[in-house]
Amino acid sequence: MMAAARAYAQVSTTARVSTADPHQLITLLFEEALADLARAKRAIESGDLAAKSRHLSHAATLVAALDASLDHNKGGEIARSLATVYAFVRARILRASAKNDADQCRIAAETLGEIASAWREIG
């Protein structure tokens, strides 16, 4: 049953990505990263280390994609500030993974959530 749910989620995500404009794509990256951080937090709390690793790895990849999407030439100080925030979030993800620390997932999600909220407001 879980495999079917994952397959459905993948199809849903693929459909959303294929029809999204650039702003919506960034929104999807935020949404997926935040969902992975929440899943990783629950996995740590329940002792499911395999799920923790999977979700934190995916969240880190998504945050790296957000960082790579920054246009430092056009974005100037804002892009530099966001790069610093993304580095902070990646450091929290690494600490959560290394120390099995659910609170680091919470900190990463709160930080990323603030940026995601601001991004949605400008959409």
Domain architecture of the chain: domains with CATH: 21-122 (1.20.120.340)
Distance of CA 19 to the CA centre of its chain: 20
What are the b/e assignments for 23-57, b being 16+ CB within 10 Å? eeebbebbebbbbbbebbbebbeeeeeeebeebbe
Q: How many residues does the chain have?
A: 123
Across the chain, which has 123 residues, the per-10-residue mean pLDDT values are 48 55 94 98 98 98 97 95 98 98 98 97 87
How confident is the model at residue 123, as a pLDDT? 76
How confident is the model at residue 5, as a pLDDT? 45
Q: How deeply is 70 buried, as exposed, middle or buried, from its count of CB atoms within 10 A (0-12, 13-18, 19+)?
A: middle
How confident is the model at residue 82, as a pLDDT? 97
Contact between residue 93 and residue 56 where contact means Cβ atoms under 8 Å apart: yes
Question: Measured on CA atoms in the order 8, 10, 15, 19, is the torsion positive or negative?
Answer: positive
